[in-house]
Amino acid sequence: MYSCKFFKTLLVPAAALVAEEKYKSDSQKKPNLCRPSDLPIYVPEPPPTTAHEPEPTVPSYIENSFATVREQVTKVYKEVKAYQRVGVDYVEQSKDNAEWLLKYLRQEDNTTPKAGAIAIGGLTGFIFGLRGRFIKRTIYTATGALGMAAVCYPKEASEYSQIAIAEARRYATIAYNFAYGGGETETQNAKITEKEKQL
């Protein structure tokens, strides 16, 4: 018990004095040393500065007008862009549907849908030719039906169109010769058309 008191009363203050003396002698030898509180990490907080907020300025009539116009133009531009996106999506979807329908109609075993499509083409031509007389209705109906048949049967349409072009040339030549009179050219053209038929 006495030894504990001895340590507390004599040795602890003596140790503190020795450490202080050593610190003083070290600080005299090395003047670059500083206390931990003097390190730059412990920088005191700067005093709060009262920032002077600028007073709000009242915009003029011209500034208000330009701001309103700019906002409206931006709003309209965003709406146009949205409609454009919707339109592009709609067009792309329509293209995909049309391609699918075209492939479906061109399949070999789809005779009933092909007949329906040709009938719808003829009916469409008839509707477009309703204002005309019999010949106009007939031409429009035939054109609509033949156009849809050409879509449904592309190979056959190209073959028959080549034949129709050759026959049209032949009859045009015959009509020309009949109108202006030409004996030899008529026989030459007849020979040419016979050769084309043989090919």
Residue 173 lies in a domain: yes
Check whether 164 has a pLDDT greater than 60.
yes
d(C-alpha 105, C-alpha 61), whole Å? 65
- The confidence score (pLDDT) of residue 179 equals 80
Question: What total of structural domains would you count in the chain?
Answer: 2
Residue 184 lies in a domain: yes
Predicted TM-score of the model (pTM): 0.46
d(C-alpha 121, C-alpha 107), whole Å? 18
Lowest mean pLDDT among 4-13, 75-84, 163-172: 4-13
Mean pLDDT of 31-59: 69
How many Cβ atoms sit within 10 Å of the Cβ of residue 94?
10
Residue 16 lies in a domain: yes
Indicate the pLDDT class of residue 90, thresholds 50, 70 and 90. Answer: very high
Residue 96 lies in a domain: no
Residue 97 lies in a domain: no
Residue 82 lies in a domain: no
CA distances from 194 to 9, 113, 160, 167, 172 (A): 141, 38, 17, 11, 16
Q: For residue 151, give every residue at least 6 positions away whose Cβ sits within 8 Å of its Cβ, in sequence order, or none.
A: 102, 105, 117
Check whether 77 has a pLDDT greater than 90.
yes
Nearest to 128 by CA among 142, 115, 113, 116: 142
- How many alpha carbons fall within 13 Å on the CB side of residue 13? 5
**Where is pLDDT greater, at 137 or 188?**
137
Which tokens hold the place of 117? Answer: 């499509």
Check whether 48 has a pLDDT greater than 60.
yes
The answer to whether 59 touches 67, Cβ cutoff 8 Å, is yes
Structural domain boundaries enclosing 27: 8-33
Mean pLDDT of 106-127: 88
Indicate the pLDDT class of residue 73, thresholds 50, 70 and 90. Answer: very high
CA distances from 94 to 87, 97, 99, 100 (A): 10, 5, 9, 10
The answer to whether 120 touches 148, Cβ cutoff 8 Å, is yes
Residue 195 lies in a domain: yes
Indicate the pLDDT class of residue 155, thresholds 50, 70 and 90. Answer: confident
How many Cβ atoms sit within 10 Å of the Cβ of residue 137?
17
Check whether 20 has a pLDDT greater than 80.
no
User: What angle (nearest 5°) sits at the alpha carbon of residue 9, between those of residues 8 and 14?
Assistant: 95
- How many alpha carbons fall within 13 Å on the CB side of residue 97? 6
